[in-house]
Amino acid sequence: MIVESRAIAIDVGDQDGLRVDAGKLHDILDNYGVANTLEIYFGMHTSAVAADFNNFVVLEPRPCGLTRPIPISRFIALTDRSNGNALTVAEGKVQSAAGTDHATPFRVVDRGHGRIALQTQKGEYVSVSVTG
């Protein structure tokens, strides 16, 4: 049982029967925000045993996850840091608007397993379409 870990490294051979399951584990860990890597090397599971994994480093911009707790059930405003514009909802679309005074407040809704949804004061949810 893993009690505490800074990161998880998964390795598997490209001809290994564990390859598909290792990929699924990697995806699940990513979905939960757990720092991990998946390395697929040539050969079977025992082909790369001699590799030195003691010096393997996973770089994560914010180790240990979040820098602040997720503000569940609170309203937030989103700002574009590159130009200072606020995100606003206009004509049913999320758009960038000059100045933070135009920001649309979004309520952070807990969707479970570390996932959230953004909801406007009118009860509409933010989603992404094929056209963006």
Quick one: which of 77, 79, 75 has its CA closest to 107?
A: 75
| pLDDT given for residue 4 in this prediction | 58
9: helix, strand or coil: strand
Q: How far is CA 6 from the centre of its chain?
A: 16
Give me the residues paired with residue 108 across strands: 118
Buried b (16+ CB within 10 A) or exposed e, 52-67: eeeeeeeeeeeeeeee
Give the start-to-end residue ranges of the domains of the chain: 1-67, 68-132
Residue type, 129: S
Give the per-residue pLDDT at 1: 43
pLDDT of residue 107: 92
pLDDT in tens, the chain (132 residues): 445 556 678 888 888 888 888 888 888 888 777 778 888 877 776 655 555 455 555 555 555 555 667 788 999 988 877 788 888 888 888 888 887 677 899 999 988 777 788 999 999 888 876 665
With beta carbons less than 8 A apart as the criterion, state whether 14 and 20 touch. Answer: no
Residue 39 CA to residue 11 CA, distance in Å, equals: 5
Q: Which two tokens stand for residue 118?
A: 């953004």
